[in-house]
Structure 1
Amino acid sequence: MTTGRIIFLNGTSSSGKSSIARELLDLLDDGVFFHLAVDDFNAMRTKRELGPEELDAALRRTRTGFHRAIAAMAVAGNDIVVDHVLSEPWRLRDCLDVLPAESVLFVGVHCPLGELTRRERVRGDRPPGLAALQYDQVHRHGLYDLECDTGTLSPRACAERIRDFLPHRPHPTAFTRLRERDLGALPVS
C-alpha cells in the first residue's frame, strides 16, 4: 500500500487555513482527499468546564491523538489536507516524529497581523488576540515547501498554487529537512 500525500497547512488562527482546505478539496482531482482540522478534533471533546490543568492535559492529548490520526490515515493510503496551528514547539516535534516526512507538503499560511485581528473580530468565535499570541510562534521553525499569504491572495488562489506545486514538491521535503536539522534541538514540552 502506498502512503497517502499530506498537504499540511500551518498558520495562526484566522489565517485562512480552513478556507484553503475547502478550496483544495474542490480543486484536487487526482485522488480522494480528506480534510483533517485540529479545530474539528477539539470540537469532539466534552463540553463540561475543565480547570486549567485538566484543560491543558486534554488539549495536549487531543493534539497528540490528532497527529497520530493524520499518520494513520496517510499510512492507510489516504490523501490528507491538514489544517493545524503549530504554536508550541512540541507540536512540530511530535509531527516530525510520527508523520511520514517524505509524504508531507508543508505549507506556511501567512496573513498580516492587522488582517488577522480584523478577521477575529468579524468571526466572533475566537478569543480576541488569539492570532496575535500565536503570530511569532507558528512560523518560528522557518522552513516550508511552499508559502501563501492570505492577506494578498484569496483562498482559491492559494489552493491553486498548492495544487500546481504538489506534483513538483521538493525532495527532500521541508519535513525531512526539519527532522534532520531540528528534531534533537526542539524542546519536548
Structure 2
Amino acid sequence: MSRASGPHPFTPAAESRGTARTPGGLIVFLNGTSSSGKSSIAGELLPILGDTYFSMAVDAFHAMRSTPPDLSPDQLRRVLLSTWKGFHRAVAGMAAGGNNVVVDHVLSEQWRLSDCVDLFVPQDVVLVGVHCPLPELERREQQRGDRPPGLAARQMTRVHAHGRYDIEVDTGAHGPLDCARQIRDFLPHRPRPTAFEQLRRAAGGARAAPKTVP
C-alpha cells in the first residue's frame, strides 16, 4: 500500500501537532567556526559516549559531491544550498530512525539554523557552542593550509549570533578530549527547555508578531 498520501512520520508538522511519534535518537550538534576543533571533539566524543553514535559532518557531504568546474556563481550557490539542505535532512532522517548522531556544522548563515530548528525534534537536540580565540583560529588556519585565510574571522560574528546553547566549550583553553568529556558529562543532566526548544518558540513568536505601521 502506498504511503505517499500521508505525512512522513518524522516531518516537523507531525511533531508540532503533538501526534504520537516513534522516539528518535539524540542529536549532539557541534557548532563553531572553521578550525574551531569540532571534528577533533567529535573524534574524541564517539568512543566515550557509551552508546552507538554516528558522526555526520557537513564537510563530508561536500566531499561526496562531484561538481562541474564550469558552473556559474549562481549555479554553484544553488548546488551548495542543496548540499546543506540535504545534509540537514539526512541528519533528521538518521535521528528519526532511532540513531544517535554527533553533528559537525557551521551555522554561519541564519537560514541554516532556521532549517535545522524546523526539521529536528527540538527536545532531542543538544546544541554545543564550540569557541576558540581568534589568534588561535588564525594559527590553525595557517597550519592547516586548506582553508582561505581569514575564513574563521569572517564566520566568527555570525556563527554564534543566535546566542543560545545547551553547553559551550572552549578549545583554546581545553584540548579535544577534555571538551568531549565536558559534553559527555553534561548529557545525562541536560535541562529543559533545550536551546532548540527556545529557538523554535522564538521563531514561532517572531512569525506570529503583528507588523507595525510606520
Contact 1:5 1:79 in 2 (8 A): yes
Q: Which segment is superposed worse, 42-51 or 160-169?
A: 42-51
Q: Counterparts in 2 of 1:96-135, with a 5 A limit?
A: 96-135=117-156
Structure-2 separation of matches of 1:11 and 1:183:
25
Identity of aligned residues (%): 60
TM value normalised by structure 1:
0.95
- The code of the aligned residue for 1:39 comes to D
Instruction: Give the match's secondary structure for 2:80.
Output: helix
**Greater relative contact order (CA < 8 Å, ≥ 6 in sequence):** 1
User: In the alignment, what sits opposite 2:53?
Assistant: 33
Aligned partner letter, 1:108: G
SS in 2 for 1:144: coil
**Cα offset, 1:172, TM superposition:** 1.1
Deviations 1:86-143 (A, max 9, x none): 0000000000000111000000000011111110110011111111110100000000
Q: Which residue of 1 aligns with 2:65?
A: 45
- Matched residue of 2:113: which SS? helix
Code of the aligned partner of 2:42: A
Preserved contact between residue 15 and residue 110 of structure 1 (Cα < 8 Å): yes
Q: Secondary structure at the match of 2:104?
A: strand
Unaligned runs of 5+ in 1: none
Distance 2:204 2:94 in 1: 23
Displacement of 1:182: 2.9
Q: TM-score, normalised by structure 2?
A: 0.84
What stretches of structure 1 move > 6 A for 4+ residues in a row? Answer: none
| Residue matched to 2:18 | none
Paired position in structure 2 for 1:76: 97
Distance change in 2, residues 1:134/1:184 (3 Å): farther
- SS of the residue aligned with 1:148? strand
3-state DSSP of counterpart to 1:56: helix
RMSD in angstroms over aligned alpha carbons? Answer: 1.2
CA–CA distance in 1 between the matches of 2:72 and 2:64? 18
Count of residue correspondences: 185
Out of 172, 175, 180, the residue aligned to residue 154 of structure 1 is: 175
Contact 1:96 1:183 in 2 (8 A): no
Q: Which runs of 5+ in 2 are unaligned?
A: 1-21, 208-214
